[in-house]
Amino acid sequence: MTLALAAKWKDPMLRTFDPGQAKASGLPVGVLHYGLLTALSLTIVATLSATGLLLAVGLLIAPGAIAFLLVQSFGPMPVVSVAVCLAAMLGGTYASFHIDSAPAATVILVLTALFATAFGRRLHRTRAASRGARGAG
């Protein structure tokens, strides 16, 4: 399923952001809609049974939000999201071993720290750009 989404990522992206244009382009919007819902449902079920509720929700939301804050366009966003998730999982599991804590909670703390860092970086860059625009105008 991941390979299918990776190979044809433009069609689901168009369906997600502009269903009218997708329909006008001749894409099977119904198949794309229910295909994406099926992929999301299977991901949630697999994640819940493998990790538990807290980590499942964190892994579904935080990596995408962090990637959104770090990149400027959609193209690199999935790659950054996967890299963030991998780093958080490995870092959180490693840290939990050394500080003798639950791995799921430690992974969520790592994701929280990454999100706070990315949010602070974005806020700083936005403020700097705003100050630069005011000074130039």
Statement to judge: residues 29 and 83 lie in one domain: no
Q: What is the pLDDT, as a whole number, of residue 85? A: 92
Query: Above pLDDT 90, what percent of the chain?
Result: 37
Residue range 30-85, pLDDT digits in tens: 888 888 888 888 888 887 877 788 788 888 899 999 999 999 888 888 899 999 99
Q: What percent of the chain has pLDDT over 70?
A: 94
Q: Work out the burial of residue 62: count CB atoms within 10 Å of its CB; fewer than 13 is exposed, 13-18 middle, 19 or more buried.
A: buried
- Whether residues 43 and 108 fall in one domain: no
Same domain, 83 and 132: yes
103-136 vs 77-99: helix crossing angle, rounded to 10: 130
- pLDDT at residue 110 tops 70: yes
Specify whether 85 is located in the same domain as 100.
yes
- Domain assignment of residue 15, given as a range: 1-51
Side-chain half-sphere exposure of 66, counting CA atoms within 13 A: 26
What pLDDT score does 37 carry? 85
Whether 58 and 122 share a structural domain: yes
Q: Are residues 45 and 106 in the same domain?
A: no
Domain count for the chain: 2
From 11, 36, 51, the end of a domain falls on: 51
| 15 and 57 belong to one structural domain | no
Smallest CA-to-CA distance from 119 within 59, 68, 75 is with 68
Q: Mutual orientation of helices 53-70 and 77-99 as an angle, nearest 10°?
A: 130
